[in-house]
Every structure is written in structure tokens, then in C-alpha cells.
Amino acid sequence: DTAVSQTPKYLVTQMGNDKSIKCEQNLGHDTMYWYKQDSKKFLKIMFSYNNKELIINETVPNRFSPKSPDKAHLNLHINSLELGDSAVYFCASSHLDRPSTDTQYFGPGTRLTVL
């Protein structure tokens, strides 16, 4: 029944490691997003893919690389993790062709802690 799911829910890792967060949606949406919730609880867009094509790429370090194997999945890979990467990362999905009516549906978030 889960609409947008993320794994893992919690991720604790050491500085310098490489890690991935997975996201899957079963809503039939064609667009998926990654957001970062910073220390001030602010939600900021990082990336967006439409039908496996990157359409939003905000100013994030190139250690962050999204990968979309198909339109139902958008994974986030982070290389050489730094302390400042600690945050909650949210995945979301929507229909791109209904921007004025369709909301974005969010996953439960992945809390990443870099030690």
C-alpha cells in the first residue's frame, strides 16, 4: 500500500564512506524528487527526474549523484560522506504534466548521520 517508500529509514556511517538511499513509488508518477531537510528544518530540492531524465539539478556537491533505473525508482548515492551531509533526505513523486493540480507525495524520509 505504501505510495512512496525509502530505504533505509536510518543510516549511520563514518565520514569518508560511500552510501546509497533508495526510493520507490507505486503511484504511476513520471517524476521523482530528492529533498534535503537541513538543520533549520528547511526542505530544499536537490534533484528531480522525469522518465529517467534529470530535469532539476540544484547546486549540490558533485559527491551526490542521483540514479533513476526506471520511472518508479530514484536512488541517491553519496560519495565521501562529510559531517555536513547529516540531514533527513526525503524522496517525493508527482505527475510532471499536472503541475498546477497535482501535489507531490513524499516518502517517510531517511535520517542520515555522519560520524
CB of 18 to other proteins, least distance (A): 26
CB of 16 to other proteins, least distance (A): 29
Pick from 66, 107, 112, 114 the residue near other proteins by CB under 8 A: 107
Q: Does 86 bind other proteins (CB under 8 A)?
A: no
Distance CA 21, CA 107 (A): 12
Per the rule left: phi > 0, alpha: psi between -120 and 50, beta: everything else, 14 is: beta
Q: Does 42 bind other proteins (CB under 8 A)?
A: yes
Do 93 and 4 form a contact (C-beta atoms < 8 A)? yes
What DSSP string runs through 3-35? Answer: SEEEE-SEEEE-TT--EEEEEEE-S--SEEEEE
Pick from 14, 40, 62, 83 the residue near other proteins by CB under 8 A: 40
Q: Does 94 bind other proteins (CB under 8 A)?
A: yes
User: Interface residues with other proteins (CB under 8 A)?
Assistant: 4, 31, 40-45, 48, 55-56, 90, 94, 96, 99-109
